[in-house]
Amino acid sequence: MIVMMKGFGSVVVLVLVAGLMWHCGGERVMMEVDEQVGQPLSKLAVENNASGAVVVASVQQDDGPVSGAMVEFARSIAGQVAEYAWSGMTDEDGRMRLEIAGDATGYYQARVSQDGRVIGLWSSIPINAGDEVVVNLPVGGRAQVTRMSPSSACADRVLNFGFFAFFAPVSSSADPDPNSAGFNTHMGYEADLLTALEAMDGAGLSFSRRGIDIWPNIWLLSAGPEYDVVGGGITILDSRTRDEMGNQVVTFTSGHIVFRQSLLVRAEDGARWASHDDLTSDVRVGVLASTTGEARLLVLTGLVNADGVLAEGVRVETQTDTVVADGSANFFITAAGASPNLEGRQRIFPAVDTMPQVVYLGEEELLGALASGRVDVLARGEIGNRDAVHASGGAFVVTALDSAVEYGGFTLGVEDADLAACIDDKINYLTDDQRIGYGEWRQDPSVFITRARMWKGR
């Protein structure tokens, strides 16, 4: 097994640009290959002994999707009439998906028909065995291969995986002590998902897991030398892919878990604080800094606007100072970070009576603070709050479920887009394209490993 270490070896980037030119009765697709490789992807796929491929095709006409169209693919073989052996119908978004079994590597032709009439023809489309190929087919325009996921990106790799250690039941350590051996033992939903990824026949994935005890900017750690992949209940946000200079340094995998924000209150206060509108200036809301729970609470209560800018007159106590927001972008809080003058914030006091107070607590303080009356409400994700209700034996209740849905994913360095795509392909299988999630895992923790055993190297 090859051990891939972050920061070692060279990164080879293969860029495919598929172009279509209506000329002399045919079309051409142009391919650019990195000079270090010197050979096309189709050659690489043959050498890797890969087989089978997935094609996702999108058909557009006049800048809109073409639904209900027949899309057919045929292998291009010199001197032979095209045999359109693979086909499918586009959905309402103009998209269809098909699988090509066997040794799929080669160049293909595509044909689109609607109401029995051919409306588009394309040729020289590269498809490589073991890959998922995304191809756009604009009627009257050029075909574009927008993504090909090299199967080698996943093959025989041990990836350094960092996980947040204090987000049970999604991601946690067996022992909360960072100095203990059990701190690096991964527990929870994401732990079982990773174990299933490792168990998939032919996936070639293995994870060396290490616990992380600091939350702020944890998502950016995969851009550094220590970690290849980072997880721990991280909500997918574009703002979390960028460093302090605004440069994109990480990419997210597709969502494997759904989050919704909510409030957790003592059972006797369930009716009193049933919605965010009930949170007035005499109510103390406990939050964890730099989370979507904090960010969403601030938006829903009017303490910040949609861009995270604090309302004029809001007072913030930090570890070193007390500042008053002037309504400008110099005072902001988002799920990805805050302005420097708000770092180390301890408490927020509202500018008007219709906004609550906000109290900043550590992860291990939250539930105790609510039970003791130090705070009146906790603003957190639904999963953690419902788990707390269960553990409390009914002492707490969940209220104010947010209508907005968030998705959680893993981060990888932006240069590892091919690896992210390969992991995505496996995660999408395990979650049945997001049909299986936290609720199903909660009922049956073996759901992912069971699906992994059905993979059989497909």
Give residue-wise pLDDT tens across range 7-47.
433 333 333 333 333 333 333 333 332 322 222 223 233 33
| Dihedral Cα 52, 407, 64, 86, nearest 10 deg | 10
pTM, whole model, 2 decimals? 0.67
Give the pLDDT of residue 415.
87
Q: How far apart are CA 221 and CA 160, in angstroms?
A: 11
CATH of domain 157-256+414-453: 3.40.190.10
DSSP conformational letter for 253 = P
Give the pLDDT of residue 39.
29
Give the pLDDT of residue 106.
82
Instruction: Decide whether 157-256+414-453 matches 261-399 in CATH topology.
Output: yes
Give the pLDDT of residue 27.
35
Which parts of the chain have pLDDT scores under 50? 1-50
Give the pLDDT of residue 146.
67
Q: How far apart are CA 150 and CA 133, in angstroms?
A: 9
The closest alpha carbon to 207, from 169, 251, 244, 163, belongs to 163
Domain ranges of the chain: 16-148, 157-256+414-453, 261-399
Contact 286, 367 (CB under 8 A): no
Helix, strand and coil in the chain, % to nearest 5: 20, 35, 45
Class of domain 16-148 as given by CATH: mainly beta
Class of domain 261-399 as given by CATH: alpha beta
Give residue-wise pLDDT tens across range 49-63.
345 788 999 999 988
Residue 209's DSSP bridge partners are 161
DSSP conformational letter for 426 = H
Q: How far apart are CA 73 and CA 125, in angstroms?
A: 10
Task: Identify whether 150 is preceded by a cis peptide bond (ω within 30 of 0).
Answer: no
